[in-house]
Structure formats: C-alpha cells, structure tokens
Chains A and B, each alone.
Chain A
Amino acid sequence: MMSTNAKVTIEETRIQETAKHGIGKLNKSIENEYCEVKAENLNFFYGPVQALFNVTVKVQEKGVAALIGPSGCGKSTFLRVLNRMNDLIPGTRLEGKVKIHGKNIYAPNTDVVNLRKKVGMVFQHPNPFPKSIFDNIAYGPRIDGLKNKTALTEIVENSLKGAALWDEVKDRLNEPALALSGGQQQRLCIARALAVKPRILLMDEPTSAIDPIATQRIEDLVRNLCNDYTIIIVTHNMQQAARISDNTGFFLQGEMIEWGTTSNIFTNPQDKRTEDYITGRFG
C-alpha cells in the first residue's frame, strides 16, 4: 500500500538525516537540512485572495512553537497548510514548498491520509464525535484497521493518560463524550489525536472556547506533551504563547514578521511591528 511506503520513506529519511546531523535536538543552532516542519516561500490563496505571503520558517523537533498575531493574519491558515486541511476548501491554491520530515507534503504523490496521521490536529471548539468516550479515542486506530480489543483498550488508556484525562473518565468510558465538560472534551480531542500516534500536533486556539481553569490544565498538558511531540499552537492570547512556547512566530496580514525564541520575541523583538503588537499597541 501507498501509505506504508510513504511511512517507510519518512522513517528512512529521518534515520539518514539523523545520521548526517546527529540527534535533532542537539543541533538546533546548526543550519541543517532535516527539519520537523519547514516552509519555504509559501504563498497561499483563497480564490483570488492571498492569505499568506512568502512565509519561510523552520520548526525543530519537539517543543512548542506558538503562532501569534491579530485576527485574520493567516496564522490559522498556516496551521491548516501543515496537515492540508485547507484542501477541504474549494478554490484554494498554494505556491512554494512545505516540507515535513524532509518531504514536500504538496508533492503530487503525497498520501494526504497518511500525512494527517502523522500530523494530528486539535480544533478551536472541542469536537468529539457523538459516540462514547472509548469509541472517540478508538476511532483513529480503528479506521487504521486495528480490531483487536485488547490492543484498542490499551491505546485508549494510554491516550487518555497522555491527555491527563484518564483518572476523570476511567470508570465511564462507555458514556457519551458529549456529556463531558468543555475542558474535558478538549482533552478528549487531544487524546483522540494522540491515539493515532502522530509526530506533530497542531492546535488551533485550543483554549479559546473553554474556561480559565480548564485552560490551565491544557497548558500544563501541552508542556508535558512537547517532550514527545512537536507542538505548533495558534493562539490569540499572547500570555499563553509566552507561558507555554519555546519559539514564537508573529504573523501580520499574511506575512510572518518575526520568528525566534519566545523569550527573544517577547523581550527583545527585532521588528517594530512585533514590538507594537506585543506591547498592545494594536491587535
């Protein structure tokens, strides 16, 4: 099958690249070819309207990258470029290259289904399926062909533990997921994404629809998860970006104005517009 081949190729590339450059984490400063996520001269269009202008960025493995900027600046569009969810919108067009694990994900022979298994996504509004908690988590592995009940149970448990939800729901896995609170639903969605064993997790304003206490739990969770996953999070909340991210990108009107370590962006921004936004002069 196509997907298996693609998977193998990605793994091979990764091994080769790792051999060439050492472990990804250690050579953050080196200008290496292998990158977790890399966009080069990316332009994106909704029909005639251009939403992203010449975005170039490299995201390294593990850790949290935050994308900030005012509404409509293109940060969510950029996020959805990375798992090709924009494909669902008719009339969209992309120029430039987006590489994930060294492979151009917009190459004609890309297996989008397989890409989305490697690049999970958590949405702004919690969107559990109208199914039981168990069936929500098991959905991804099941459509991947896993039928073994023991294996599924194990994945469900691990994913829920990974999303810090296990203790709250372990006794009611068969209850409808929609009966959970908003914050729990969002953690369920994170668990559901983890169950597919992605390498990268995209989060599109995951806390904007839930209360502050639930938000804090998700922020803690994100900090934990970034030891095992590369997390790219879009947030309209600058404090959140400052709290949880290692690197931050600032978008404005479709351009990535500045990209750097979070501490640099927030304490020593290079661009006047970044500074204005950070200090609350607009946005």
Chain B
Amino acid sequence: MNVNSNAYTYTFATVMVVLVAVLLAGASLGLKSKQENNVKQEKMQSILASVGVAVNRSEAQAAYDDVIKEVLTIQGGEVVSTDRETGFNVDMAGAIKAENMDREVPLYVANKGGETYYIIPLRGKGLWGPVWGFVSLESDGNTVVGANFGHKSETPGLGAEITTPMFTDQFPGKKISEAGLFQSISVVKKGTSAGDYMVDGISGGTITSNGVNDMLSDCLAPYAEYFKNI
C-alpha cells in the first residue's frame, strides 16, 4: 500500500476526522451534565459566600435552598417574576447588553440568622475576558455586607487579585446610594480611596480594576429603583 498516494491521504484524513469527531462529541455529551452541575453548584457557592456562608461544592445545593428564600426577577424597578428557576437561570452576559431599565435581572433574597439580605449578581469586562461577582446588601438595600468576584482569564498576581480577600475585604460597610440617589462604589487608584463610596484598586491591574468599577456602576444601577420602594 502506498502511504503517500492521493487516495490514501484523503481516506486517512477523512477517517481521522470522523473518528476524532465521534470521540470528542461523545466525551462532550457524556460529561455535559456533570460539568453543568459543577457550574451550577459553584454559582450557588458564590451567591452564599457573598453573605458569608462558606460551604463545600457538594453541600451548596442544600445550603442554597435553606438560605435563599426568594429569587426575584427585576425589570425597571418592578418585580416581573418570582420563579426561583427563572431568576437563577438568567444569563447575565446577555442581560447586561440591554439598557439599564429594560434589563431583566435576578435579585436573591436571603435570610441568615433572622436578617434579610439582598444579593445582586454582577457581570462585566476585565482585561482579557469577562469578570463577574456578587454583592450582598443589608435589608436597607444600601449598605454592603460582602462581595466576591470571579474572572475568566485575568493575569495571575495582577488583575486576578480581585478574587482575593485583600480586595474583597474592602467592601463590607460601603454604601451604594446617598439619600436615595444611586452612587455606586468606585474602584480608584491604590491608596487613594476615602469614604463610603470608594475602594482601592489593584496596582498593576488597572484595566481589571476599571472593569470592576464599570461593572459595579452598570450592574447595581438597575436595582436602585427597586430599593427606593422597600
């Protein structure tokens, strides 16, 4: 058999492509439900972490069902749905493309130790890819209880530091509005933050810090109208 003939080359390429396609499609289909479950549990973990409930991934579902009392879907300051699944499954990447008041975004209402907390999902752009996170507010809808962030591919040691306590520990106690007027929380140059509406950014991670800054003002704004009426 001539390994270098045209006919053999085409046959080899075709067989190879079909085999690899079957193998990869099989692996992808077979593992899909497991992967999606991991992503879902991780999201529950992050939601819980923003109100200071730390759980393993395997315990996430049970703790989530216990702590999160309501999942509201908000649009233009009005509740448009109270279905838990609808709220949880909102695709933030798609939702933030719409104008502030047109967005359908979820608001998680948690109850921990008798206190009510509101948890707001965030989504924005970092330097290399998307960044996201959750901010939790006290029952006044203004004072921050906690925040956590995630990212797809920010630079380790620089932008990726937004996930570390060094950055997130600055958020508790900050406020998002002043006398009913929405302010957001600005991420400013390291060492220059002052007052209730600013946190220090990451030195060397300026573009990621700016991304978090824009994400906060962009994603918190749609809820301001809702919180006015609680």
Interaction A to B: no
